[in-house]
Amino acid sequence: MTSIAPGTAANRLLIADLENAVGKQNVVWKPEDLLLYEYDGSIDRAAPRVVVLPGSAQETAECVKVANRHDAFIVPRGAGTGLSGGAVPLRDSVVIGLSRLNRVLDVDVENRVAIVEPGLVNLELSNQVSKFGLYYAPDPSSQKACTIGGNVAENAGGPHCLALGTTTNHVLGLEVVLADGSLLWLGGPNRESTGYDLRGAFVGSEGTFGVVTKVAVRLLRIPEKIHTMLAAFTSLDAASQTVSDIIAAGLVPAALEMMDRVTIDACEPVYHPGYPADAEAVLIVELDGLTEAVTEQSALVETICHKNGASELREADDPAKRADLWATRKGAIGAFGTIAPSYYLVDGVVPRTKLRDVMRQVKAVGDELGLTIGNVFHAGDGNLHPCILFNERERDEVRKVIQAGERILEICVANGGALSGEHGIGIEKKAYMPLVFTEADMDAMKGLREAFLNPQPEDESGAGGGVATGRSATPVSERFNPGKIFPGGASHGEAYGITEHSVRRSRRGDEV
């Protein structure tokens, strides 16, 4: 789709129709204002055609219908904290920002269910239900900023997903706007439902199926006791072995997180945790549940840590002291700014038993390419987050960073892992999908997407399909969030003049 300048007649009509739908003050179209919406937490960039900020589910549905009439692509957007380019608006898309839909609509304390809007900040939900002794479990490191709708799109996890599962395990139902502008509930507030699990299919679909307007989530009771332990080790191998030993002992902690020496160096001048000077890795273990069980498990974890040579062990039960132990882990990404102005976070997954070998290989990639890589990750479930530190103003550094990311993902897959644990595929990883999936696999996935976007049967003439308005020339399979997940189209790093082809050539030692 060709770029449409803001001042063209076509764009003026689109803007006018959107303003009629949501109010003039809730439509953003000036080029200088659109700059705020051309990126997320990834390195990719693309300017939207226009941004609209609906204030209700009905207004969201009307915005979809308006976009259909104007043959426009649609990109749903939450807080823009995603790390795979999922919210980057390719193909001059209309961005539907959901920041105004930010309320907790209902809390059923007895059944521990809440109905919330997609623009609600993740942490705000737990804050609002804590007075009932409840909380919402998925806790991405960006939970102070990221939204529930964005978490649904990417199936976000967090430090506590080891024991409690990712977003999909805590979403009971979704109200969504489909491609024809209709509103539909998938699942609902009940914990069990019959038929196909369309809710489960929608979670993690990265905005390619439709727009979420309400979310029914399950809440958990705040545990009787929470105990946090932080152990420092003189080698990454020792910390990795501790992770394996804890799981082998039959324990499933609420959280099991690790940081390496590079991350420690970044955090020390910001948070001043005072870790031992010889610490090459720090492990955070959190246990929760009944007091007696947590006390017994804590003693076992302490024994395992000392057996593997922990040079220091800190423990806390008090919420404020526990927060101090978590401060470096929760704020590690921001602290990397003390080392370099930019970071590129790779979200690969490996079996826990392969942690030590894979970490060595990741370091070797950084050494070979002359890149600094800090590791801060969900060690308990093998969800690695190598953070490659660089300067995005240096094109050659960007090229090497993308190359390193590709090689790290290849290492993860070769060791029996996956391309993503919680950040999604988006633009960043779509070229690497064939590392894991066959063409038949991807065709099946595309077929599911088309079932959501094109529910209309063909008529007797063989025509038909398309969105319900029947007035759009845009391919219906690309209606929502075009150019994401599957290979083809815009390339990762294209904003820097780097294409998938140039990256592959550079890996063979050819000149870009």
How far apart CA 130 and CA 100 sit, in angstroms, is: 23
Q: What is the CA radius of gyration of the chain?
A: 23
Cα–Cα distances in Å, from 463 out to 259, 456, 470? 57, 11, 10
Cβ atoms of residues 162 and 378 within 8 Å: yes
Cβ atoms of residues 453 and 209 within 8 Å: yes
Residue with tokens 């764009």: 11
Reduce the DSSP state of residue 298 to 3 states and report it.
Answer: helix
Residues 6+ apart with CB under 8 A from 389: 262, 336, 339, 340, 342, 343, 371, 372, 373, 374
Cβ atoms of residues 113 and 132 within 8 Å: no
| DSSP secondary structure of 72-90 | --EEEESSS--SSSTT---
Give the pLDDT confidence score for residue 454 in this predicted structure. Answer: 80
Q: What tens digit of pLDDT does each residue of 181-215 get?
A: 999 999 999 887 788 999 999 999 999 999 999 99
Tokens of 323: 């927060």
How far apart CA 194 and CA 187 sit, in angstroms, is: 9
How far apart CA 102 and CA 116 sit, in angstroms, is: 7
Handedness of CA 72, 74, 80, 86 (dihedral sign): negative
Q: What is the pLDDT along the chain (512 residues), one digit of tens a residue?
A: 445 566 789 999 999 999 999 999 999 999 999 999 999 999 999 999 999 999 999 999 999 999 999 999 999 999 999 999 999 999 999 999 999 999 999 999 999 999 999 999 999 999 999 999 999 999 999 999 999 999 999 999 999 999 999 999 999 999 999 999 999 999 999 887 788 999 999 999 999 999 999 999 999 999 999 999 999 999 999 999 999 999 999 999 999 999 999 999 999 999 999 999 999 999 999 999 999 999 999 999 999 999 999 999 999 999 999 999 999 999 999 999 999 999 999 999 999 889 999 999 999 999 999 999 999 999 999 999 999 999 999 999 999 999 999 999 999 999 999 999 999 999 999 999 999 999 999 999 999 999 998 865 444 444 444 444 444 555 566 899 999 999 998 899 998 888 754 434 333 333 33
Query: pTM of this prediction?
Result: 0.92
CA atoms within 13 A on the CB side of 427: 30
Q: Where are the beta strands (DSSP E) in 347-456?
A: 348-349, 372-377, 383-384, 386-390
* Structural domains in the chain plus CATH codes: 9-97 (3.30.43.10), 104-221 (3.30.465.10), 223-339 (3.30.70.2190), 340-436+484-512 (3.30.70.2740)
How far apart CA 342 and CA 373 sit, in angstroms, is: 12
User: Side by side, which strands form the sheet with 312-316?
Assistant: 312-316, 225-233, 281-289, 255-260, 372-377, 386-390, 342-345
Residues 6+ apart with CB under 8 A from 435: 409, 410, 413, 419
Cβ atoms of residues 231 and 313 within 8 Å: yes
Pairing of strands 255-260, 372-377: antiparallel
Q: What tens digit of pLDDT does each residue of 259-295 get?
A: 999 999 999 999 999 999 999 999 999 999 999 999 9
In which region does residue 406 sit, left (phi positive, over 0), alpha (psi from -120 to 50) or beta (all else)?
A: alpha
Residues 6+ apart with CB under 8 A from 127: none
